[in-house]
């Protein structure tokens, strides 16, 4: 699903954000990515969805060499990847529905299909009743759940989250983490970046640790108190939101 082969990332001036990373994430796995601030977590995630490109090495996502994908085809890569940011990145002047339905809208779905897709995504995170609210009318936890719904609306194969609980209190953080774990139960591959070691040790799962841009640990932890999870209800099919391209259109 995701493979890094001797990947390094240098910024102007020679600063090394990542150095010689090699690892792979199989389909359907849940992975914590951890390390201190500045360890390279955000850069690693950006490389996966091609917001950054590596200075050296190769990154393969869904069998495709990410670096060699032409610029015009990058949106097709990203339609298979949901991304959740720490700062939510919701548009203040848009309703919850408008924020969540952005992808169906640009794909040309009609208004009825857009609303159905947004409703199903929001139902998965418990916010279907807030379709017409604006971000400022929501709590921090609700805003983060809207951001998660937006990332899930096209039923992505990969879900990436960069410190998604960093701005939330402990109770809300546990609620949001449970959502990610339950999404993973459906088969979605999840990479969640966090510096919260207590949460990682409580939940368990595979843990990749970065330090000064280097991979220093890759272990499977048995959680001390993993949460009980419930498999979410199946939502309406969203296959029409996924790109169906011949292999030749995205050269690897």
162 - beta bridge partners? 193
Mean pLDDT of 110-127: 87
247: pLDDT strictly greater than 60 = no
Angle at 132 between CA 128 and CA 136, to 5 degrees: 105
Cα–Cα–Cα angle for 122, 126, 129, rounded to 5 degrees: 70
**Does the pLDDT value for residue 217 go beyond 60?**
yes
Sign of the alpha-carbon torsion through 75, 82, 241, 80: positive
Q: Is the pLDDT of residue 236 over 60?
A: no
What is d(CA 228, CA 23) in angstroms, rounded to the nearest whole number? 29
Residue 18 lies in a domain: no
Q: Which whole number is the average pLDDT over 160-184? A: 87
Residue 244: strand, helix, or coil: coil
**20-24, 115-119, 160-164: the lowest-pLDDT one:** 115-119
Residue 118 lies in a domain: yes
If one counts every other C-beta atom within 10 angstroms of the C-beta of residue 145, the result is: 25
pLDDT for the residue numbered 117: 87
187-198 burial, b at 16+ Cβ within 10 Å, e below that, comes to ebbbbbbbebee
Is residue 247, in this structure, part of any structural domain at all?
no
- Residue 207's DSSP bridge partners are 32, 219
**Residue 76 and residue 245 in contact, taking contact as beta carbons nearer than 8 Å:** yes
Four-residue CA torsion sign, 107, 112, 113, 117: positive
Residue 205 lies in a domain: yes
Q: What is the domain range of residue 36?
A: 25-51+71-239
Is 57 a member of any domain? no
More confident site: 124 or 251: 124
Q: What's the total number of domains in the chain?
A: 1
Reply yes or no on whether the pLDDT at 98 is more than 80. Answer: yes
Strand ranges in the chain using DSSP code E only, listed in sequence order: 2-11, 15-25, 30-34, 56-61, 64-65, 81-84, 158-162, 189-193, 204-211, 214-222
pLDDT given at position 233:
56
Residue 208 maps to a domain: yes
Q: What is the pTM of this model?
A: 0.85
Determine, yes or no, domain membership for 9.
no
**What number is the average pLDDT over the span 5-24?**
94
CATH of residue 110's domain is 3.40.50.300
Residue 142 is assigned to a structural domain of this protein: yes
Residue 165 and residue 172 in contact, taking contact as beta carbons nearer than 8 Å: yes
Which H or E run includes 145? helix 140-152
Predicted pLDDT at 87: 82
3-class state of residue 146 by DSSP? helix
Average pLDDT over residues 221-241: 67
């Amino acid at each position: 699903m995701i493979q890094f082969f001797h990947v390094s990332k240098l910024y102007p001036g020679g600063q090394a954000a990542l150095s010689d990373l090699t690892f792979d994430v199989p389909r359907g796995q849940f992975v914590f990515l951890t390390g201190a601030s500045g360890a390279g977590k955000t850069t690693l995630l950006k490389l996966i969805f091609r917001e950054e490109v590596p200075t050296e090495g190769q990154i393969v996502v869904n069998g495709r060499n990410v670096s060699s994908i032409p610029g015009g085809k990058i949106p097709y890569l990203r339609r298979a990847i949901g991304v959740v940011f720490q700062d939510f990145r919701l548009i203040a002047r848009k309703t919850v529905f408008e924020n969540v339905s952005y992808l169906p809208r640009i794909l040309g779905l009609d208004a009825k299909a857009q609303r159905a897709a947004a409703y199903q995504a929001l139902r998965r995170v418990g916010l279907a009743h807030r379709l017409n609210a604006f971000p400022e009318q929501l709590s921090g936890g609700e805003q983060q759940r809207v951001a998660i719904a937006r990332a899930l609306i096209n039923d992505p194969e990969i879900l990436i989250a960069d410190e998604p609980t960093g701005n939330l209190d402990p109770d809300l953080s546990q609620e949001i983490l449970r959502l990610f774990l339950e999404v993973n139960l459906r088969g979605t591959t999840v990479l969640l970046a966090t510096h919260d070691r207590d949460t990682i040790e409580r939940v368990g799962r595979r843990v990749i640790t970065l330090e000064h841009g280097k991979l220093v640990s890759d272990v499977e932890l048995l959680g001390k108190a993993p949460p009980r999870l419930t498999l979410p209800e199946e939502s309406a099919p969203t296959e029409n939101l996924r790109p169906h391209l011949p292999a030749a259109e995205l050269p690897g």
